[in-house]
A and B are shown apart, each in its own frame.
Chain A
Amino acid sequence: MTSYIGKPVRRKEDRRMIQGLATYVDDIELSDLCHVAILRSPHAHARITSIDRSAALAHAGVIDVVSGEDTKHIGTVPVASAVPPDKRTPRTPVLAEHKVRFVGEPVAAVVATTKEAARDALELVAVDYDVLPAASSPEAALRPGAPILHEGVDTNLAFEWKLEGGELTWKEASERAERVLEQRMENQRLAPIPMEPRGVIARFDPGRGEITLWTSTQIPHLVRTFVAIQLGIPETKLRVIAPDVGGGFGSKLNVYREEGLLCFLAQRTRKPVKWIERRTENFQATIHGRGQVGNVKVAFTAEGKILGIHYDVLADLGAYHQLLTPAMPAITGLMLSGSYAIPHITIRVKGVFTNRMSTDAYRGAGRPEATFIVERIADMVAAELEMDPVELRRANFPRAFPYKTATGLTYDSGDYVKALDKALQVSDYRGLRRAQEEARDKGRLFGIGLSSYVEICALGPSGAMPTGGFGWESATVKVHPTGSVTVMSGASPHGQGQETSFAQIAADMLGLDIEDVQVKHGDTGTMQYGVGTFGSRATAVGGTALYQALEQVIAKAKRLAAHLLGAPVAGVRFENGKFSANGRVLTFGEVAFAAHGAAKLPPGDTPGLEATSFFEPSNFTFPFGSHVCVVEVDAETGEVEILRYFAVDDCGKVINPLLVDGQVHGGIAQGLGQALFERVVYDDEGQLLTGTLMDYALPKAHQLPRFTTERTETPSPVNPLGVKGVGEAGTIGSTPALVNAVVDALAPLGVKHVDMPLTPERVWNAIEEAKRARGGVS
């Protein structure tokens, strides 16, 4: 009866998005709306000695100016990371209190009748700073005598965390190994850069004592809970709305200072207030991702069997914890087995406070870091043993599923060989290797890179969540009397397309036209509690909640139809939107109308036709795939040209291949961005040197090749839809594929590793160093 699931249905969202009819926070106008501008610290580390707001208050149009003194009663910006349990958690104030700890930290806020007046008045707030030395990198922050960010303790170490497991110990693994390789690896700091920066509007209704908060977020319900706690008000007094959200990539899976601050300003001024983040503020004060640098050791046999991984890593946390900051290295640790059966894994993390913006979840959130390490290891070991990297991977894949890793995860289902074989086939891997030989004969630097990733999606069983809970998702199905349907999802899609894919699921299960299904989300005032969209969970967890709610609706409708048709429930067939029994047929709409008319209900049944369902998953899901990247390196300039890119992804059952391709394409581009272009740079004083898009390089269309995307389909046993999730796969698979390809291209010169991003100069340096090491002339 499937008529939509599995089909490339065009996005229902597209019309309003493409025609400029979407409503983002900045599109919302309210009468008497005032504007907020935020004064931010120009220093990485300084004591605030005085703030004089008098000139700003005297500026035409200015209504109010507040600083940390006014907001100190507001609770800390929350941390919701259960791991590590014994971490240090300093207070994160909405406006700096006595001290600033990173460039861009909010110090004061101006409310004015126009955004121009607010911006002009910012310059009139006079702040005196006593500038302190900065702990500008995790290495610097741990040195003896380093400047201490948070008083009361004499170290910048926020936590140490260790995960160790497997059937062997590290000692056994390294003793049994033919060799142990060691390599410093860095996952550099990245900026998520959603197209829409953050934005917040708060309106206070003094009559009801209620606040409405519009915010560009991935998690409106959690924002409501946490901001209500911060403000010390009941959740009933706060309604949070995520309108159309122009991308998040994890950066909006957070609770930010500006949310609590604007609620406070709305209460204080009795005016609705709006703050829209500028791009430079987005670079300074929206979370960054990655920021892990460490030393990895790998023990392996002469046959290429990996026996153990031992990873010591510094996590650059930034100045404060944001919502999930401390959890990121833990996810890296959990995923260090990659798509391989590895008998021992150790990760030892030092989480370090630095005078920089916080790191947190950025597309992939811990998994790209792990995958980069494991996939680089796979290639390094293959190179060391002069094995084809394909064979090395094959030799280490787990063959039976579910597979339990040394880190304690249980991979739900998989067929890694099949995905790899398909990638080899669509890329004509053998042909590529022949082309490489010919190219090498001519002195060209031609490289082929593989990456066989696995990732953890459908976050997740509540008890196993790094948040210590909130792993479930909810859905409500409301059938209207004429038979059209509103789906209300607790997830909060912001570009992924669930308004379409959830409509496909509902239309198929109810036998309706997709136009008769409306999907709503993101308003805590009108719908059941939900968790949000992140961790590639919305379809696998939220879609399953929807599936359950639809089943409940169908069951109730079936009882009513049976009653109306004079047949036992078991005798009623429901197919293609029609209930039939005894040779008679009722449409879904007729039954919906009868449910609301309620003149002839089955005994004991209630009027109406709607259901709400909460789904708690029994496990995560583990999508996987193999990517092949082909590059040529300009030996003189170090420039990398991506010639071809092949991705074979397995995200379980596919609801909408168009959406899946879109996610994969965008993900690959972002992952290649990390590999080639992107990095957040702070200098030794903690100044942010990449504060605009003129200095922070995002991948652009003309720098990328056409991607070839293919799939294998291994259903997940974890949910009835068999889906796994695909939001982050491209980002996770592509980064190591590109780096492996470049290292492969440079292999004839003796290059073994290059740090990301692989800028032309870094690649050129690697070439020059390799030449020098071989005694050649540069």
Chain B
Amino acid sequence: MIPTSFEYAAPASLNQALALLQKYGEDAKILTGGHSLIPLMKLRLARPSMVIDLRKIKRLSGIHRKQFEPEKPVGLEIGAATTHAEIQRSEVVHKGWPLLSETAGEIGDMQVRNAGTIGGSVVHADPAADWPAALLACGATLVLAGLQGERTVPAEDFFVGLMESAIRPGEILVAIRFPARAKGSSGAYRKLAQSASGFALTGVAVELSVGDGQIATARVGITGVAEKAYRPRRTEEALVGCTLAEDAIRNACAFAAEGIEPLADIHASARYRAHLARVLTRRATLAAVERARGSKR
């Protein structure tokens, strides 16, 4: 398993990294955890002439509570080069954004979590990666830097298609922002893993709030089913105002794969993926409701 020969750089600043990226253009690849890139290089499906390792750039790592806008509640910013394991272990994340802890803990195996990064996973835009579901459910925003400056893109606009994101040539994902969560809200991630790779055959992230015996707000992100992670809008709409009874929630979740063309491969048929989307959306919703009620008490 020998890749084609390549140069390697590990710049210490974001500007140096951006300059290198501009210089090498499409011949450059960004490395943070390497779990997608290195196998592709070894199989020679990726043949970069320059690999830019971002792990020495301080700004790209770490988990911080942050006020994104004046007078708005404090949200969470996770650097793009932060490992899944750091997120899984973070107290701040665990207390404030349990959906993210849970998602991180469901990724691959311990080695993958210790080296793989949230930014690497998100930018790779694998249709079966776990993070996209959580980002959609949380209403996350991605901070992208280029030599011309920074811009932010909402998660739903970021995932464009199969292995395709809204990142432009020359840009680097710096961080992912998660807005503050309302009181009485919680989330959950439910996944059935492809047993070889550990990727999601189907993964469903739900973030919701509960009030007055019903679901007040709900956002759902589903990964693994379609060529990109998506929000099942009709299910979300049906969940808002839905009672907490299992049957009512079941009915709302019946639309989880509506309008979607599910993927089919040797691991699962389209029909089964659509079925899992419905089942796991219900299970994630019920788990989130349970947690939300618990957090209010």
Contacts and interface: CB of A to CB of B under 8 A. Distances in A.
A764 B1 contact: no
8 A-B pairs with least C-beta separation:
A697-B196, A697-B195, A694-B197, A119-B2, A761-B272, A636-B279, A677-B195, A681-B266
A775 B194 CA distance: 31
Given A637-B192, A689-B266, A695-B266, A700 B109 contact: yes
A760 B192 CA distance: 9
Interface in A684-703: 689-690, 692-698, 700, 702-703
22 contacts: A119-B2, A120-B4, A123-B44, A278-B1, A279-B1, A280-B1, A637-B192, A637-B279, A637-B280, A639-B192, A677-B195, A677-B196, A681-B266, A689-B266, A690-B266, A692-B39, A694-B196, A695-B267, A697-B194, A698-B196, A700-B109, A759-B267
Contacts of B4: 120
B5 interface: yes
A116 interface: yes
B236 to A, nearest CB: 22
A703 B195 contact: yes
Interface in A131-189: none
B293 interface: no
Contacts of A760: 192, 201, 272
Contacts of B192: 637, 639, 760
Contacts of B276: 637
Contact of B196 (A639, A696, A764): A696
A693 B43 CA distance: 13
Contact of A764 (B44, B194, B275, B280): B275
Contacts of A692: 39, 43
Contacts of A764: 272, 275
A290 interface: no
A693 B195 contact: no
B268 interface: yes
Interface of A: 115-116, 119-120, 123, 278-280, 636-637, 639, 676-677, 681, 689-690, 692-698, 700, 702-703, 759-761, 764-765
Contact of B269 (A695, A698, A761): A761
A412 to B, nearest CB: 39
Interface residues of B, number: 23
Given A697-B195, A759-B195, 20 more contacts: A115-B2, A116-B2, A120-B4, A120-B5, A123-B44, A280-B43, A636-B279, A637-B192, A676-B195, A677-B195, A692-B43, A694-B197, A695-B266, A697-B196, A698-B196, A702-B109, A759-B267, A761-B272, A764-B272, A764-B275
Interface in B159-191: none
Contacts of A690: 196, 266
A765 B276 CA distance: 13
A116 B5 contact: yes
A693 B2 contact: no
B268 A693 contact: no
Nearest to B192: A637
Nearest to B190: A637
Interface string B253-288: 000000000000011110010011001100000000
Contacts of A695: 196-197, 266-267
A677 to B, nearest CB: 5
B188 to A, nearest CB: 16
Contacts of A765: 272
Contacts of A697: 194-196
Nearest to B275: A764
Nearest to B280: A637
A279 B43 CA distance: 11
Nearest to A636: B279
B8 to A, nearest CB: 15
Contacts of B201: 760
